[in-house]
Chains A and B, each alone.
Chain A
Amino acid sequence: MLKKIEAIIREDKVNDVKDALAEIGIVGLNMFEVRGHGRQGGITLVGRAGSYQVNMLPKMQLNIVLSDHNLEDAIETILKAAYTGEPGDGIIFVYPVEEVIRVRTRERGQGAMIYPGDIDSKKFRSAVDINMP
């Protein structure tokens, strides 16, 4: 079963989260800038004369598709790396994914998501076929 994680985190936590995920073997991901807020209030910016409130704050959304047996490890890693304790740390959404297809080789499913040294090869090292790339 495939799942997608949308992790909306602080901009300056992106490198921490990426590094932590790479350490456990989750390498494939993409991200884009988003603006928004949850319960966190906005910030006050200063204009020509006087200040004004801005409520939509810039964050980063990381998108990761993975097998659901790796889901909890990934979530735990993100939660640890993205945490500061201040309001505005972010939120994580999890969705089901129908299909994954690698463009270069046209592999589908698990085959499309395997990388050398990735999380599955770390977990099931002893069970991996010696000829697997």
Chain B
Amino acid sequence: MVNQINSGDTAWILVCCSLVLLMTPALALFYGGMVRRKNVLSTLTLSYVFMALIGVQWVLYGYSLAFGTDINGLVGGLNYLGFTGVGALPNGDYSKTIPHGLFAAFQMMFAVITPALITGAFVERVKFKSFLIFSLLWATLVYDPLCHWVWGQGGWLKQMGVLDFAGGTVVHIAAGFSALAFALVIGPRKGFGKSPMEPSNIPLTVLGAGLLWVGWFGFNAGSALAANGVAVNALLTTNTSAATAGLVWMMLSWLDGRPSTLGIATGMVVGLAAVTPASGYITPLASMVVGAVAAPLSYYTMRFRDRRKLDESLDVWACHGIASTWGMLATGLFATVAVNSDGANGLFFGNPGQVGIQLFAVIVTIVFCFGSTYVLAKLLNWSIGLRVTAIEEEVGLDISSHGERSYS
């Protein structure tokens, strides 16, 4: 049977490609507003550069390692090097009604933003050269294989029946726990714990959060790879989880003093991250529970991290790692084939085994990502160093790393 291109699906996924790409500059703004004025440009660049870096890496070999012909369930082959064979016709394994090239392009945007998420851990002190080398290695050795395990045809976690609709493991748990590992190696910013280090531009952050929410419709609803009911469901669950988590975070923030704008924006992003793996498998009502639980989980994880004086600066672990861990488990609870016949049922629909599968995938992801990142960071720290010098950090990375000022 020949797969037929559907113009509705193709048009929709073309749009989603753009939406997800937009999430990387949105993330840059989200992070950039939270650092001190002297480091805003540096923080923006740490995200922006991935559009360039992975834009090339993915075409050259990244897509092939992730989605190429399976080797022992662990990695893709090299059959798609340079995007050869990735063209206008559908690929039966991944996308029956859209061109293969479009599927590959859509996946590229995920590969771009995932390593960008990690940068929140090491802002304001990382050496740009070391960061670039780390990022390329991480994309190649961690993201591409993990992506293959969960989404690649023949990937061993996919074979086990893991449900991860849009990137709970591949994107958020991976980024969150890698961020934690990196932060442990690079150490805290000078003055962390003593000076307040206020966010310099909360409007930028809030703008970024808004663009992230809209872009997330492309991220989650687009992962249906079709303009259909599952996509609509994913959009609804995405929106509902973000809304619920934002409200709950606002109330938690209020209990602790006043409801902060930064807190409400953060809560929304946490809801979005949590629902990502579940979005195409659960109902909107269930997604309310996902968001409502994700908010306090991340909120108190942040407080915990702060009490332990760990400078994982922008809380990637709390907001993405922990939130999506809950999201993966929630998928195992609330998934129902009534929403997505290509999925499976979760515990509340008569299949308790799914929780175990989800938990296993979570543990594998955490161990792999945390471990690999820790080793990579240690190696780089030992060889070329991860941090700028003390005076470079004092002056600010905008001037010392990039020779620029935000406002002149």
Contact = CB atoms under 8 A, between A and B. Distances in A.
Given A54-B196, A54-B198, A47 B303 contact: no
Interface string A34-78: 000000000011111111111000000000000000000000000
B9 interface: no
Interface stretch (B137-145, B146-154, B251-259, B282-290): B251-259
B258 A48 contact: no
Main SS class of interface, A: strand
A34 B315 CA distance: 32
A44 B256 CA distance: 11
A47 B265 CA distance: 11
Given A52-B196, A54-B196, A46 B303 contact: no
Nearest to B253: A46
B299 A49 contact: yes
Contact of B266 (A45, A48, A53): A48
A48 B257 contact: no
Interface in B289-336: 298-300, 302-303, 306, 315, 318
Contact of A46 (B256, B300, B306): B256
Contacts of B253: 46, 49
Interface in B209-266: 252-253, 256-260, 262-263, 266
Contacts of A45: 196, 198
A51 B259 CA distance: 11
Contacts of B300: 49
B68 to A, nearest CB: 40
Contact of A49 (B199, B259, B263): B263
B198 A50 contact: no
A52 B192 CA distance: 13
Nearest to A52: B196
Contacts of A49: 252-253, 256, 263, 266, 298-300, 302-303, 306, 315, 318
Interface in A72-86: none
A46 B262 CA distance: 9
Nearest to A48: B266
A46 B196 contact: no
A48 B298 CA distance: 11
B234 to A, nearest CB: 27
Nearest to A55: B196
B266 A46 contact: no
A97 B348 CA distance: 81
A109 B315 CA distance: 60
A50 B252 CA distance: 9
B273 to A, nearest CB: 14
B196 A48 contact: no
Contacts of B318: 49
Contacts of A50: 256, 302-303, 306
Contact of B263 (A44, A47, A52): A47
Contacts of A52: 196
Contacts of B256: 46, 49-51
B121 to A, nearest CB: 15
Contacts of B258: 46
Given A49-B252, A49-B300, 9 more contacts: A44-B257, A46-B256, A46-B262, A46-B263, A47-B199, A48-B260, A48-B262, A49-B298, A51-B256
What are the 9 tightest A-B residue pairs by CB atom distance, in nearest-first order?
A46-B260, A49-B302, A51-B257, A48-B266, A49-B299, A46-B257, A46-B258, A52-B196, A48-B262
28 contacts: A45-B196, A46-B256, A46-B257, A46-B258, A46-B259, A46-B260, A46-B263, A47-B199, A47-B260, A47-B262, A47-B263, A48-B263, A48-B302, A48-B315, A49-B253, A49-B256, A49-B263, A49-B266, A49-B299, A49-B302, A49-B315, A49-B318, A50-B256, A50-B302, A50-B306, A51-B256, A53-B196, A54-B198
